[in-house]
Amino acid sequence: MLKPFADAPGIYRVIEPALRAPSVCNTQPWSFRIVADDRIELRANVGNGPGRGRWDLLLHSPAPGPWPREYAISCGAALMNLRLAFRVLGHDPVITLVPDPVDDPGLLASVEIMVGRTHKPGSLEQELYDAIWQRHTDRWPFSDTPVRPGILVEMERAAAHEHGWLRVLHGPFSRRWLKVAADADAAIAAARDRGNGMNGGGAVRDGRHSTADGGAPDGGNGAPDDGMSVTGDDTAGAAPATYEALLRQFRDELAQRTGGSDSGHGIPRTAFGPRPATAHPPVRDFTLGGTEPAGGEWDGTEWNGVEWVAEPRGNGQNGGTAERDDARPGDVPRERFERHPQLMMLFTDRDEPADWLRAGQALQRALLTATSLGVSASFLTQPLELADLAFRCDSQDGRLRRLPFLESHPGLPLHRRAADASQRRSSSAVERRGYARRHLLGATPWLEVPQMVIRVGYPENQAGKPDISTPRQEPDIIDARSAPPVRVTRPRSGPAPR
């Protein structure tokens, strides 16, 4: 196709694969702007809905907090899919990351193509493109069979192709991360009960009220507050809030993004996965500490949209994972996850917005490689998010040393190398941010900056698993080639978001 932006069907043929990228809490924080017949921009979605907000203003802040970084990684994943879509159409895209950080901070990437000629994609590019439609985040138990080393190496090579460094967490590093992640989940869940003004349903923050179910503040319009400019907003010149206040706000924002939504964003309960039967599970607790469905007690037949049949303990049916002797109302189903979860951590050389976009591209290329080889993945990043919160509260890294969820894990020594001490005391906030996140693992042979942690494995029990795909909202696509610019809507004959 020589002119992919000639009409709405052509535009959606290019954009649709980008919409299939994973995004933090399924927020889909991207928008697209067509500025010429051969150029499209990937931009921060700065609407007012939940999961958005003016995060582009915090993108270049010295202490942006977890959302801008993870939003940028999500947009990087979408950019990877966009590149593959252009290649399958025969075009070679030329990418410029963060071309104008001062005057246009919301412009994340400019993608330019050669419209006068095309050539066929390579076989690997076609395989990765085909995997876009098969990849889903899988929070259900994986097989106990370890992923073959050759596949892990292929994932590492895929990430390295995009200047990301994906490494397997072996032995003590894996066990430490599982423990720290479980304690981070507990800290987030406990935040609802801390501080003044908390009643279990919301938090009073700097004169604003936010409810976990998306309710409106007094006199408000009912739109959930994204929280990007509520507390500690460096761009507004406000003094940072306490860590405990930021943690309460963060939990409220997570509650807005989880539990189901009819608007095409957020994580539905069917995608939460089952409740783990053991401590330190390799999946995130998106119930935020809840022990029963939102509507009341469990009736013994369904949990998170999944029909549940009680089985005698250890009878081997339903994958042999049931941990229940009977189905008593008020209980919830639990399943045993793999005995030795395989974790991989993604690093980048630095911690600038362009590095976050590179991390997203590296992550997505590795995930598509895994999907094409029969491997599934999920994310386990909550400790990184709390480290970013702590750094946002105290960018000198003082508060991170006293994070409660780290105090119970002194087994691994902290960094003592000269390079680490130099980064910790550096005058550069970027270097100190990287040290703050790497600090979570204790002593490691790596000096790069951690960005994401994924769990990988072979999926099992497919017959009893619900649809784990997440909804997609209609994309924000602006055609700026006309005056005034017009919004591009999905053609009626085109497929709806899946």
SS3 477: strand
Query: Which tokens hold the place of 365?
Result: 């290329």
Alpha-carbon distance 182 to 289, whole Å?
Answer: 11
What are all long-range contacts of 408-411, with beta carbons under 8 Å and residues at least 24 apart?
Answer: 408/179, 408/183, 409/176, 409/179, 409/180, 409/183, 409/442, 411/172, 411/176, 411/442
DSSP state at residue 325: S
Three-state DSSP class for 56? helix
The pLDDT value recorded for residue 303 is 45
Short-list 290, 297, 307, CA closest to 328? 297
What residue ranges define each of the domains in the chain, with the CATH number in brackets?
A: 8-137+469-487 (3.40.109)
Residue 381 and residue 454 in contact, taking contact as beta carbons nearer than 8 Å: no
DSSP 316: -
Contact in structure between 465 and 20 (CB atoms under 8 Å): no
- What CA–CA distance (Å, rounded) separates 435 from 168? 19
| Angstrom distance (rounded) from CA 225 to CA 48 | 8
pLDDT at 334: 80
Q: Are strands 334-335 and 302-303 parallel, antiparallel or unpaired?
A: unpaired
Give the per-residue pLDDT at 55: 83
Cβ–Cβ contacts within 10 Å for residue 383, how many?
26
Q: In whole angstroms, what is the distance from residue 251 CA to residue 245 CA?
A: 10
- Residue-wise DSSP of 71-96: HHHHHHHHHHHHHHHHHHTT---EEE
pLDDT in tens, the chain (498 residues): 678 999 999 999 999 999 999 999 999 999 999 999 999 999 998 765 544 557 888 888 888 889 999 999 999 999 999 999 999 999 999 999 999 999 999 999 999 998 778 899 999 999 999 999 999 999 999 999 999 999 999 999 999 999 999 999 999 999 999 999 999 999 999 887 664 443 433 333 333 333 333 333 333 333 333 333 333 344 444 445 788 888 999 999 898 888 665 567 788 887 888 888 888 899 999 888 764 443 334 444 444 444 444 343 343 334 444 444 444 444 456 888 999 999 999 999 999 999 999 999 999 999 999 999 999 999 999 999 998 988 888 766 544 555 555 555 444 444 444 555 555 556 677 777 877 787 777 767 788 999 999 999 999 866 666 667 777 888 999 999 999 999 999 988 655 554
| Cα-Cα end-to-end distance for the chain | 24
Token pair belonging to 446: 């790596």
Whole-model pTM: value is 0.82
| Three-state DSSP state, 66 | helix
What pLDDT, in 10s, does the model give residues 272-306? Answer: 888 888 888 999 998 887 644 433 344 444 444 44
Rounded Cα distance, 389 and 399, in Å: 10
> What distance in Å separates the CA atoms of residue 2 and residue 95, rounded to the nearest whole number?
19
The residues pairing with 322 across neighbouring beta strands, listed in sequence order, are 335
324: nearest Cα among 334, 337, 316: 334
Token pair belonging to 278: 């053991």
pLDDT of residue 414: 45
**Which residues, in sequence order, are CB contacts of 433 under 8 Å at separation 6+?**
62, 63, 351, 388, 391, 395, 449
Contacts of 329 (CB under 8 A, 6+ apart): 297, 298, 299, 300
Q: Are 145 and 338 in contact (CB under 8 A)?
A: no
pLDDT tens digits, residue range 134-190? Answer: 999 999 999 999 999 999 999 999 999 999 999 999 999 999 999 999 999 999 998
